[in-house]
Amino acid sequence: MTSLFSGRRRWLAAGALGAALVAVAPVALAQSDTQARSAATGDRTQDVRAAIQGGSARNVILFLGDGMGQSEITSARNYERGAAGRLAMDELPLTGDYTTYAVEKNNPAKPDYVTDSAASGTGWATGVKTYNGAISVDAYGNPVPTILELAQRGGLRTGDVTTAEVQDATPAVLGAHVVGRDCKGPDETTAKCAVNAKENGGAGSIAEQLVQTKPDVLLGGGAKYFNQQVKAGKFQGKTVLDQATAAGYQVARTAKELAAVKSGKPVLGLFAEGNMPTNWVGPIAKQGGTPPSRCTPNPALPATQPKLAEQTRKAIELLNKPRSDKGFFLQVEGASIDKQDHAADPCGQIGETIDFDQAVAAGMAFARGNPDTLVIVTGDHGHTSQIVGNGAVSPGQTATLVTNEGANMTLNYGTALPGSSQEHTGTQIRVAGYGPQAANVVGLTNQTDLFGTLKRALRLR
């Protein structure tokens, strides 16, 4: 029987196949991939038993697909690899689900069944349930320590990577504490989060606090917030970017500059003014549906923008010091799965899921060569898209795509009226693991339990 852990070669081959199928005419799945999968069917008892490891991990890589529920994973798999194919994230051997609910502000005993990325991020990053919009503060607005901050205190190197603004909810929860997720720069914080504003004695905006927390690697978009001026303290009148360079950050703006970065100083990658542009474009879902279409590369995507897999490999390179030293904690977010789900844009959503999956493959290639690495792949909340029957009559908005198998796949978006942003859903979400402590994701857990798994794996206090 071929092991589920048959190594880096198959992973790299799978990634190459996925890249070759992007935005091309429909083709049949490669025969070698089908054979590899069929060889892994049957009795998996020994493979699962071998996957269960206790003890501790030297490194942890957390992959977070924002808004990536089971439907988003399935539609990406169908489009790119085929109904019988597998994505890189499907290959993690231990899987379960976790619940994602938030709580009401000032009333932590009362659940809010549909979470946003801020409350859900606070849950897995701190182990504490909070209200929608909160960034690593509890239901009463009190700061709570994050897994990244604890890792720093434990002497580990840390990284925070995203395709969104680095001030967006998921990257923000690891290194900032504010009462509202929109307080990304000093200007917004003065207007919306006065208690956090520096001129009022607070710790400052998300951008300022990320610089102060100082992860070793901070990559994504959001350059416009670093151009705002600090309103009080040592850097009053200077920009947040001035504060970052004074803290020792070397700044990269392009894939080429990122590739040239050397270890030794912290790295700030700012690859877009706002969110990084998406990889694919195609028809937007509408009432009555769309003609069957293929996804195509986004013509507005800058050639200078690094792919998420490139960011992941570089982050690992910078964080992975000699074996005699301590390890690292790294979070990698595929952010615009969520954002394109909101926009009822199936090609945008699927393209971001595939981009995220290629980053997972990069992380798993490292983990297979470094078995003391825990890899977790999950989402933060459910979202709107559903795969429905071709020709289905829906009161929602639908779009039909032609997959790489040459079949039609129709996606439905029905959680908001046309012209409005589609809404999250309150469903439980897949969580998968590989490496030490990964067995703790099996079954049904709470999103806050992931914090305990990460903390226990890294032996943090």
DSSP 426-446: ---EEEEEESTTGGGGSEEEE
pLDDT, residue 391, reads 83
pLDDT, residue 173, reads 98
3-state SS, one letter per residue, for 28-93: CCCHHHHHHHHHCCCCCHHHHHHHCCCCCCCEEEEEEECCCCHHHHHHHHHHHCCCCCCCHHHHCC
Other Cβ atoms within 10 Å of 237 Cβ, number = 9
Mean pLDDT score of the chain, rounded to an integer?
A: 92
Lowest mean pLDDT among 82-91, 322-331, 372-381, 382-391: 322-331
Summarised one tens digit per residue, pLDDT across range 202-250 is 999 999 999 999 999 999 999 999 999 999 999 999 999 999 999 999 9
- pLDDT tops 80 at residue 14: no
Contact 410, 75 (CB under 8 A): no
Give the closest residue to 347 by CA, choosing from 378, 301, 416: 301
Other Cβ atoms within 10 Å of 22 Cβ, number = 18
- pLDDT tops 60 at residue 81: yes
**Average pLDDT score over residue span 325-344:** 96
| Residue 137 DSSP one-character state | B
pLDDT exceeding 90 applies to what percent of the chain? 88
| CB-side neighbour CA atoms (13 Å) of 257 | 14
Please, which pLDDT band fits residue 36 given cuts at 50, 70 and 90? very low
- pLDDT tops 70 at residue 278: yes
The answer to whether residue 117 is catalytic is yes
CATH entry 3.40.720.10 includes domain 55-457? yes
Give this prediction's pTM: 0.91
Residue 148 burial by Cβ neighbours in a 10 Å radius (0-12, 13-18, 19+): buried
* Apex 61 CA angle, 1 and 269, nearest 5: 135
What is the C-alpha separation between 81 and 83, in angstroms, rounded? 7
What is the C-alpha separation between 115 and 173, in angstroms, rounded? 14
Q: Where are the domains of the chain?
A: 55-457
- pLDDT tops 50 at residue 404: yes
pLDDT, residue 325, reads 78
Residue 161 burial by Cβ neighbours in a 10 Å radius (0-12, 13-18, 19+): buried
What the block records as the tokens of 395 is: 């009161």
pLDDT, residue 41, reads 63
The catalytically annotated residue of 117, 120, 205, 385 is 117
Contact 300, 279 (CB under 8 A): no
pLDDT, residue 321, reads 86
pLDDT, residue 322, reads 79
Ramachandran bin of 220, using left for φ above 0, alpha for ψ from -120 to 50, beta for the remaining angles: left
Please, which pLDDT band fits residue 118 given cuts at 50, 70 and 90? very high
Lowest mean pLDDT among 10-24, 117-131, 429-443: 10-24
What's the order of all strands across the beta sheet hosting 408-413? 386-388, 408-413, 397-402
- pLDDT tops 80 at residue 440: yes
